[in-house]
Amino acid sequence: MKKLLSIMTVAVLIIGTAMSAWAIIEGTPHDVAVMRDLGAGADIERCAMCHTPHAGSGQYPLWNRAQGAPTSYTMYASPTFDMTETTLIDSANYATFNCMVCHNGVASTLVNYPGPGSVANTDYNFNSTLLVNPQTNLGSDAATMLNEHPVGFTYNPARDDENNGFRAAQAYSTSNVNKRAIIGARGPYPLYSETGNTGDYNQFECATCHAVHDTVDYPGKSMDVGRSAGTQVYFLRGDNSGSGMCIDCHVNR
């Protein structure tokens, strides 16, 4: 009986987590029904736009999108940037690499389409009809990330020669995994490992500042034809009014 109750409890937790993620994607710019203006009653699998329970690409977390070149990017560079960074983003930097599959302006399709036999469905294709948005198309050329906030670098406050006052990373546990994060007034801002859910959590990636499932509520978010159009964008880790998120890290600046 105890074993049955344990199994039922785990099942409820898994279903609850999935429903929670679905609920906070629904109606946001990451909702494929919103992207394509399909309407609230559209027969669409929102989670499948990025994830699949079976036959994924092999990329964490159960990644469901396929894209050819480019697979790496030249990163931000500046005389005032002191931390050690990678020169290229690849699949090891999954918390940035996966974002760029849709945000690099290159068409991508699903690996495993929902429904019997994984029959292709153009509703899930990220193609020219969705690539015209200059807010989200960062580009695909070799110098794509040169004009964006640095990502893919090892976060090490000791290398702060510009007196930014960067906070030390602290222990941060989520999903029963002990990780590290920058803890600010509007944080936390999680750091990532280049080896999935193992190793050192010291990499600053896109997902350090952005929550892909829109997990935080703050004022100023609105949409216009599926695009963020308010005073603040969707998917931030915190309320950035008054540059609050920036100050959480650049304390002295």
Distance between CA 55 and CA 16 in Å, rounded? 23
pLDDT digits (tens, 9 = 90+) for 84-132: 777 778 777 889 989 988 888 888 899 999 988 889 998 898 876 676 5
Please give the average per-residue pLDDT across 199-220, as a whole number: 93
pLDDT digits (tens, 9 = 90+) for 32-55: 988 888 877 788 899 999 999 998
Q: What pLDDT was estimated at residue 227? A: 80
CA 131 to chain centre: 18
Q: Where are the domains of the chain?
A: 2-249
Q: Is the pLDDT confidence value at 173 over 70?
A: yes
Q: What pLDDT was estimated at residue 184? A: 95
Q: What is the overall mean pLDDT for the chain?
A: 82
- Kindly write down the DSSP assignment for every residue of 132-157, as one continuous string: --TTT----STTGGGGS---SEE--G
Task: Report residue 136's pLDDT band, with 50, 70 and 90 as the boundaries.
Answer: confident
Q: What pLDDT was estimated at residue 8? A: 41
Please give the average per-residue pLDDT across 221-228, as a whole number: 84
Q: Is the pLDDT confidence value at 12 over 90?
A: no
Q: Classify each residue of 31-68 as buried b or exposed e, where b means 16 or more C-beta atoms within 10 Å of its C-beta.
A: bbbbbbeeeeeeebbbbbbbbbeeebbebeebbbbebe
Q: What pLDDT was estimated at residue 17? A: 40
Task: Report residue 195's pLDDT band, with 50, 70 and 90 as the boundaries.
Answer: confident
Better-scored residue on pLDDT, 229 or 242: 242
Q: Is the pLDDT confidence value at 26 over 50?
A: yes
Task: Report residue 20's pLDDT band, with 50, 70 and 90 as the boundaries.
Answer: very low
Q: Is the pLDDT confidence value at 3 over 50?
A: no
